[in-house]
C-alpha cells in the first residue's frame, strides 16, 4: 500500500512501508526508507517527497502441487481423525501433527529474498477434523526460522488459488519443537467449502478443502508485500 | 480477576503485552504473550490476530488492558493442547483388520498403542490404588494378570475371552484403600474389552437394560467383577457429543458434570448393576497438564491425585467420580502409563 498522497505522514509509516516493524527505531537516512524515494545516503530530503511513495516489492509467486493426508490422533483412549491438504515438508509438518510426519504436496519455489527474510517456507496447508466432523479448519503457514518479523516485511497477504488471506487476520507464533525452530502464521475458522458453510471437512483426497482443490492439482500461491 | 495494563514487550519477555501492526484499514493492536511448553519447557511467543486481539483488549483512557482471566485461559488452552499432542507419541498407526477389527477402523479408530506390555498405575490422593495390566504383558505382570483371570473364572465360570484382544486390560484395586462408589469391595476385578465385537456389546446393552440415548460409545467397555458379592457391573464409556453435552436439544440424554479445568474433549462413563440400575456416580475423563490440574484441585478443594515425584511421568488421563444428582466430587484419579521395558518407552520429555 503506497503512503498517503497528502496530509500528515509519520516516520513510522515510512518505516512500515519500507518493510520495517511498527514502533521500532529508524531514521530518514536509513537505506530502506531512503530507498522509497531513491535517495542516496546524506542527500537532502523533504517529508513531502514521500507522498505516494511505495516500496513496490515484486510478488513472490510459486506453484503448489496439492497433496493430501489423513491421520488419527489418540489421546488416552479418545481417537480423533484429521485431514490436511496443501504442502508440508517433513520438519515443517511435525509441529502441526504431533505423531504424523507425512510429507504432502510440493512448491516449485520455497524461498524468496524479499519474503520472510529469505527463509524457507516449510508448509502451507489446511488442517481439519474429519472425526468428529467439522465445517471449518485452519490454514497454517510454516517458515523454518525463529522470530521472523510479523510485519509487512515478511508478507502482507497470501493468495491461495485466488483466495486472499491477510497477515493481519492471522495468529502468529514462534517456537522450537522437536529441534525444529519455526515461525507460524495461522488462519482459523476457514470453511471446508468456501461456498457452502454447512459442508464438512472431507477425508478424501479427491475433495477440496478451503482454498485447496483436490490432491494432484497445480495451483498458484502468491505472497504479496504491497 | 484483575486487569493487566499492557505495554510493548520484547518476544523474550515473560510479560503479556501489546504490539502495533498495520493493514489497509490502518494501525491496530495485537495481544502478545509468551507461554512455556508443558513438556519440553521451550518458550513460545505469540501474537494474536487483529480480530482475536480486539475481542480481549480493553481500551481505556490511560492505555490498553486485558483481563487476567482471558490471558490465563489462552495460555492454558495452548498448554493443554500441546500436552495432548505430546501424549499422542505413545500410539502408532494400526493395520486394518490386523491390529484393529475392520468395524472400528472404519469408525476412524486407526491407531494402537506402540507397545502392548504396559500397565496403568492409578493414583488417588497421591497413593497408588489400582494397577491395570495390559494383556500383552510378559513375565511377572503376566502372572499377576493370569491370577486375576483365575479369580474371575472361579466366580464367573461362564465369562471368557479375557485375552481375546492383546490390548485388553485387567486390573484390581489394591488393599487398604477406600473403594470408589458404587463399588463396595476392594475385592473387585476390572476387565476392559478393547476394540470389542459389536454384537457382544449390543447384547450387554440389552442384558443391563441400558436405555437408548443415541450415544456414541467408545471402543472399549468395562466389566467389573465383585468377587465378594459375585455381582458383575457393566461400565459404559461414552464419547462427548451433542446428545451428551447439549441440554437444550437433548435434556434426556444430557450428562451433567462438575466444572472441569481447561482440558481436551472429555468422555464419560456410566455404571450399570445386573438389575439394570444406573449408578448414582458418573465418571468424567480428560487430559490436561499437571499444573492446570493441580490448580483446579486447589481451587475446588479437591485432592490432586499424583505424587510429586511422578508429575513428569506419562499422565495420560485424569478421572473424576461424581454424584450425578449433586455433582459432588467423590474421587479424583490420575492414570500413569508404565511400560514393562523402560528402554522401549516414551522419550517424551
DSSP-based helix, strand, coil % in chain A, nearest 5? 15, 40, 45
pLDDT of residue B99: 85
Confidence of residue B107 (pLDDT cuts 50, 70, 90): confident
Predicted confidence (pLDDT) at residue B332 exceeds the cutoff of 90 = yes
Predicted confidence (pLDDT) at residue B191 exceeds the cutoff of 80 = yes
Contact A99 B86 (CB under 8 A): no
Answer with the residue of higher pLDDT: A8 or A72.
A8
The dihedral of CA B171, B175, B180, B184: what is its sign?
A: positive
Helix/strand number for chain B, H first, E second:
7, 18
User: Which three three-digit cell numbers place residue B152?
Assistant: 474371575
Chain A residues within an 8 Å CB radius of B43: 175
Greatest CA span in chain B, whole angstroms? 77
pLDDT of residue B252: 94
Average pLDDT over residues B51-79: 96
Nearest CA in chain A to B92: A99
Angle at B94 between CA B221 and CA A122, to 5 degrees: 125
Mean pLDDT of chain A: 86
Task: Give one word for B183, left, alpha or beta, with left for phi > 0 and alpha for psi -120 to 50.
Answer: beta
Predicted confidence (pLDDT) at residue B204 exceeds the cutoff of 50 = yes
DSSP state of B282: E
Q: How far is B21 from chain A (nearest CA, A)?
A: 6
Query: Which ipTM score applies to this complex?
Result: 0.77
Predicted confidence (pLDDT) at residue A93 exceeds the cutoff of 50 = no
Confidence of residue A96 (pLDDT cuts 50, 70, 90): very low
Partner-chain residue, chosen from A16, A172, A175, that has the shortest CB–CB distance to B43: A175
Nearest CA in chain B to A24: B20
pLDDT of residue A50: 81
B109 burial via Cβ count (<10 Å: 0-12, 13-18, 19+): buried
Return phi, psi of residue B53, to 5°. -65, -40
Name the percent of chain B lying above pLDDT 90.
Answer: 72
CA dihedral A159, A165, A167, A170 (to 10 degrees): -140
Chain A residues within an 8 Å CB radius of B219: 77, 79
pLDDT of residue A76: 58
Cis, peptide link before residue A132, omega less than 30° from 0: yes
Contact A77 B47 (CB under 8 A): no
Nearest to A76 by CA among B171, B287, B106, B137: B287
B157 burial via Cβ count (<10 Å: 0-12, 13-18, 19+): exposed
Q: How far is A75 from chain B (nearest CA, A)?
A: 6
Query: B133-152, pLDDT tens digit by residue?
Result: 999 999 999 999 999 999 99
Q: Which of A27-41, B200-214, B299-313 has the lowest mean pLDDT?
A: A27-41
Q: Which of A163-167, B89-93, B99-103, B317-321 has the lowest mean pLDDT?
A: B89-93
Distance CA B281, CA B324 (A): 6
Q: What is the 3-state secondary structure (H, E, C) of A6-70?
A: CCCCCHHHHHHHCCCCCCCCCCCCCHHHHHCCCCCCCCCCCHHHHCCCCCCCCCEEEEEECEEEE
Chain A residues within an 8 Å CB radius of B51: 169
Answer with the residue of higher pLDDT: A161 or B264.
A161
| B218 touching chain A per CB within 8 A | yes
Beta-strand relationship, B278-286 and B267-272:
antiparallel
Confidence of residue A166 (pLDDT cuts 50, 70, 90): very high
Distance CA B51, CA B46 (A): 15
Contact B37 A177 (CB under 8 A): yes
Name the percent of chain B lying above pLDDT 70.
Answer: 98
Confidence of residue A97 (pLDDT cuts 50, 70, 90): very low
pLDDT of residue B342: 74
Distance CA A74, CA B122 (A): 20
Nearest to B48 by CA among A180, A172, A47: A172
Amino acid at each position: 500500500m503506497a503512503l498517503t498522497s497528502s496530509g500528515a505522514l509519520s516516520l513510522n509509516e515510512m518505516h512500515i512501508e519500507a518493510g520495517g516493524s511498527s514502533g521500532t527505531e529508524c531514521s530518514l537516512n536509513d537505506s530502506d526508507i531512503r530507498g522509497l524515494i531513491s535517495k542516496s545516503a546524506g542527500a537532502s530530503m523533504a517529508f513531502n517527497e514521500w507522498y505516494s511513495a511505495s516500496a513496490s516489492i515484486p510478488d513472490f509467486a510459486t506453484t503448489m502441487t496439492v497433496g493430501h493426508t489423513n491421520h488419527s490422533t489418540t489421546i488416552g483412549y479418545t481417537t480423533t481423525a484429521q485431514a490436511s491438504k496443501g504442502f508440508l515438508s517433513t520438519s515443517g509438518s511435525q509441529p502441526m501433527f504431533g505423531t504424523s510426519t507425512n510429507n504432502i504436496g510440493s512448491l516449485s519455489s520455497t524461498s524468496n529474498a524479499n519474503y520472510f527474510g529469505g527463509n524457507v517456507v516449510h508448509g502451507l496447508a489446511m488442517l481439519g477434523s474429519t472425526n468428529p466432523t467439522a465445517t471449518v479448519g485452519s490454514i497454517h503457514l510454516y517458515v523454518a526460522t525463529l522470530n521472523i518479523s510479523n510485519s509487512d516485511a515478511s508478507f502482507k497477504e497470501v493468495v491461495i488459488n485466488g483466495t486472499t488471506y491477510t497477515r493481519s487476520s492471522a495468529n502468529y507464533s514462534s517456537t522450537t519443537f522437536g529441534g525444529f525452530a519455526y515461525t507460524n502464521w495461522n488462519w482459523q475458522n476457514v470453511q471446508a467449502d468456501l461456498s457452502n458453510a454447512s459442508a464438512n471437512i472431507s477425508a478424501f483426497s479427491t475433495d477440496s478443502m478451503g482454498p485447496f482443490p483436490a490432491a494432484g492439482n497445480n495451483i498458484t500461491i502468491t505472497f504479496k508485500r504491497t | 480477576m484483575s486487569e493487566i495494563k499492557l505495554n510493548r514487550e520484547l518476544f523474550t519477555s515473560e510479560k503479556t503485552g501489546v504490539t502495533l501492526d498495520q493493514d489497509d484499514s490502518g494501525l491496530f493492536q495485537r495481544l502478545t504473550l509468551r507461554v512455556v511448553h508443558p513438556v519440553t519447557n521451550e518458550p513460545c511467543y505469540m501474537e494474536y490476530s487483529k480480530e482475536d486481539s480486539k475481542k480481549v483488549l480493553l481500551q481505556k483512557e490511560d492505555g490498553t488492558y486485558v483481563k487476567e482471566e482471558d490471558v490465563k485461559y489462552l495460555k492454558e488452552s495452548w498448554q493443554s493442547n500441546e500436552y495432548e499432542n505430546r501424549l499422542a507419541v505413545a500410539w502408532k498407526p494400526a493395520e486394518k483388520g490386523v491390529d484393529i477389527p475392520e468395524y472400528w477402523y472404519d469408525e476412524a479408530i486407526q491407531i494402537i498403542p506402540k507397545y502392548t506390555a504396559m500397565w496403568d498405575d492409578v493414583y488417588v490422593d497421591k497413593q497408588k490404588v489400582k494397577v491395570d495390566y495390559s494383556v500383552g504383558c510378559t513375565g511377572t505382570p503376566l502372572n499377576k494378570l493370569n491370577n486375576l483371570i483365575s479369580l474371575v473364572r472361579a466366580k464367573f465360570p461362564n465369562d471368557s475371552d479375557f485375552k481375546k484382544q492383546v490390548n485388553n486390560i485387567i486390573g484390581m484395586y489394591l488393599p487398604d484403600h477406600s473403594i470408589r462408589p458404587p463399588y463396595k469391595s476392594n475385592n473387585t476385578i476390572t476387565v476392559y474389552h478393547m476394540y470389542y465385537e459389536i454384537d457382544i456389546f449390543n447384547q450387554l446393552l440389552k442384558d443391563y437394560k441400558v436405555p437408548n440415548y443415541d450415544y456414541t460409545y467408545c471402543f472399549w467397555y468395562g466389566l467389573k467383577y465383585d468377587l465378594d458379592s459375585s455381582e458383575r457391573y457393566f461400565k459404559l464409556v461414552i464419547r462427548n457429543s451433542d446428545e451428551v453435552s447439549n441440554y437444550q436439544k437433548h435434556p434426556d440424554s444430557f450428562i451433567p458434570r462438575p466444572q472441569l479445568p481447561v482440558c481436551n474433549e472429555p468422555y464419560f462413563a456410566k455404571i450399570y448393576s445386573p438389575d439394570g440400575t444406573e449408578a448414582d456416580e458418573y465418571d468424567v475423563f480428560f487430559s490436561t497438564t499437571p499444573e492446570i490440574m493441580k490448580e483446579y484441585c486447589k481451587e475446588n478443594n479437591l485432592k490432586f491425585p499424583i505424587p510429586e515425584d511422578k508429575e513428569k511421568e506419562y499422565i495420560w488421563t485424569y478421572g473424576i467420580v461424581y454424584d450425578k444428582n449433586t455433582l459432588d466430587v467423590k474421587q479424583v484419579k490420575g492414570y500413569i502409563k508404565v511400560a514393562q521395558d523402560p528402554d522401549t518407552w516414551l522419550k517424551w520429555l
